[in-house]
Amino acid sequence: MEFYQTLKCNHLAKVLVVLTWGMLCLRAAECSDDTAGSVDYEAINCRKHTAVLTDFGGKGDGYTSNTEAFRRAISELSKFATDGGAQLIVPPGKWLTGPFNLTSNFTLYIHQDAVILASQDEAEWDLIPPLPSYGRGRDAAGPRFISLIFGTNLTDVVITGGNGTIDGQGQQWWTKFCQGQLNYTRPYLIEIMFSDHVQISNLTLINSPSWNVHPVYSSFVVIKGLTILAPTDSPNTDGIDPDSCSNTRIEDCFIVSGDDCIAVKSGWDEYGIAFGMPTQHLIIRRLTCISPDSAVIALGSEMSGGIQDVRAENITAISSESGVRIKTAIGRGAYVKDVFVKGMTLQTMKYTFWMTGDYGSHPDDHFDPKALPVIQGINFRDVVSKNVTIAGKLVGIKDDTFSGICISNVSIELSEHAKKQPWNCSDIQGVSSQVSPQPCALLPDQKIDCPYPSDKLPVDEIQFQTCAAATYC
């Protein structure tokens, strides 16, 4: 039986597209009411046209390459961008593929019983230039491998599903990286560049070769309902990395990672300073994280375009290294300011609060030693943290004080192996209120509530529609 053949059973005429290699049926309808079925999903926009990967010769057997099937499908569906857009359904099965590029006014829908398997044939992965705000690949100098699902200069793109799975099959990449056998930076699972109105939602992402989700130089990005899983000893498997993005919303995600669950970035040293695109107006809410060796939310270390107006609330962490960590260094320049965090529940942590002014990795030797970062207006409130080794390590930079730090209504229960000095502070300035154990003298008690913004960001105005992923007869 042909699976998922129509967008809606609404008795409209069929749209038939004949390709040289076969026939693709893109239907706007013609099923009887008693035989029609559908799968609904939420998206920023619905599509007029639909197709299934099998229409383009896709085979979900787990070993046949579907790289060309994905590429043909998206190329053909891009023709409908100005006619209501199109969606590609990935039906149940295991779909081995190399990288493919998305298009505008497009939805990639991954069925709940579908698994996209990333090819382990390195020859399938094209090389692309390094990010201009980084100047080089993150793992190695020079170019980098393209991401599995990639897009650039797009408008209105949706990657979603019924918790369908994308498996990066990262073990061979991790092994090569750790053994120094890679000449180029590892690929990410999903990377969207220079785009606006992007949705990534309701998927399970596992075993990424490196970062999982990387929106960069983009705006109005909604990331929602992701389950991201990687071995906790896997290298650099960050969950979500908003990078030089404006108006981004991350919510209702569960992440187990070998690195930071959320890593907020904006370029690296002199390259990020020159590119000058900050990450700003970022919302993170209802996040659950497990990351024994890294942070729940990291700001930096690549923050040389600036980070401003970050709002995080209702954050849960278990067995993680730190709650919110600011990572910066001499040479980064720019700023991290106006950060607001409320409602963290943390269990079994090394640090509750951590700020680092000596995170000194650099892309090369050409960074400016006079480029000092400004860390200012960092606010934490309503935090419960249990079984903690160190309450806070807040270390700024000499002659570059981290200022405007506010911590209020915080209860930290130290573990039996806790350090004798629960707080370690230097080159910082701020206040505290109702914090236990008592913070260091550089955070005097002022009996105040740290602020949290009450205004609504534009990205929160984005509303979802109920769309039909597919119908079939």
Q: Is the dihedral of CA 46, 48, 53, 54 positive or negative?
A: positive
Q: Is the dihedral of CA 308, 312, 317, 322 positive or negative?
A: positive
151, 105 contact by CB (below 8 A) = no
Distance CA 11, CA 3 (A): 18
Decide if 259 is catalytic: yes
The tokens for 65 are 């390459």
Distance CA 226, CA 135 (A): 30
Locus of tokens 């099998």: 54
CA 332 from chain center: how many Å? Answer: 22
Exactly one of 167, 196, 243, 259 is catalytic; name it: 259
Distance CA 89, CA 469 (A): 7
Nearest C-alpha neighbor of 432 from the set 422, 418, 417, 447: 447
By annotation, the residues acting in catalysis are 259
